[in-house]
Amino acid sequence: MIRVEQVLDSWRTIRQDTAAAVEDFPAGELDYRPTPEVSTFREIARHVLDASDGLIGMLLSGDENFNSGDFRARLKTHMRALPPAEGAAGATELANALRESVAQRTEQLAAQSPEFFAQLITRMDGQQVTRLEMVQTVKEHELTHRSQLFMYLRLKGIVPATTRRRLAKQAAK
């Protein structure tokens, strides 16, 4: 059985590492992309923020069908506004927004009843899942994109926070 608090705690940890990646990346290079056809570092980080705010916002507002034609319009109503940023601007604001978002959304989710999480909804791909499974999907989505951010860090010669912690533990033994 998956417990709500474990899912939320895990997501908080994942998000801290996502925000740390934004802070660790050279601020003047947030628009870096390794090849022309992939998203920039900034676009990926912003996508993590927008997708989680939007999807969790839809869940909390009682939306039950994420597979309908106006999905993107409904998603946008739950995204937070950030000033447009190019170049070095916006790294701190983006990292702060990532942290604020997960704190707000996990607090809102923690206040929900077990019945809320057990309710079935229709995911974007048409699959029926519980609301808790949808929260897990949002968390897994972020893990995928966090891995992209970590790869971009590595391409710049920067060690991600997760590896730094592991190395620090090994050195302390």
Write down the pLDDT at residue 82. 85
Residues of the chain with pLDDT under 50: none
pTM (global) more than 0.85: yes
Please choose, from the candidates 83, 85, 11, 73, the residue with its C-alpha nearest in 3D space to the C-alpha of residue 48.
11
Give the number of C-alpha atoms closer than 13 A to the C-alpha of residue 60, restricted to the C-beta side: 18
DSSP bridge partners of 120: 130
CA of residue 37 relative to chain centroid, distance: 22
Write down the pLDDT at residue 104. 98
Whole-angstrom Cα distance, residue 167 to residue 25?
A: 19
Please choose, from the candidates 125, 154, 166, the residue with its C-alpha nearest in 3D space to the C-alpha of residue 21.
154
Phi, psi (deg, nearest 5) at residue 40: -75, 165
pLDDT tens sequence across 84-133: 776 666 888 999 999 999 999 999 999 999 999 999 999 999 999 999 99
Domain spans, the chain: 4-172
Whole-angstrom Cα distance, residue 24 to residue 29?
A: 11
Please choose, from the candidates 5, 102, 119, 20, the residue with its C-alpha nearest in 3D space to the C-alpha of residue 55.
102
Write down the pLDDT at residue 102. 98
Whole-angstrom Cα distance, residue 146 to residue 19?
A: 9
CATH topology of domain 4-172: Four Helix Bundle (Hemerythrin (Met), subunit A) (1.20.120)
Please choose, from the candidates 112, 159, 122, the residue with its C-alpha nearest in 3D space to the C-alpha of residue 17.
159
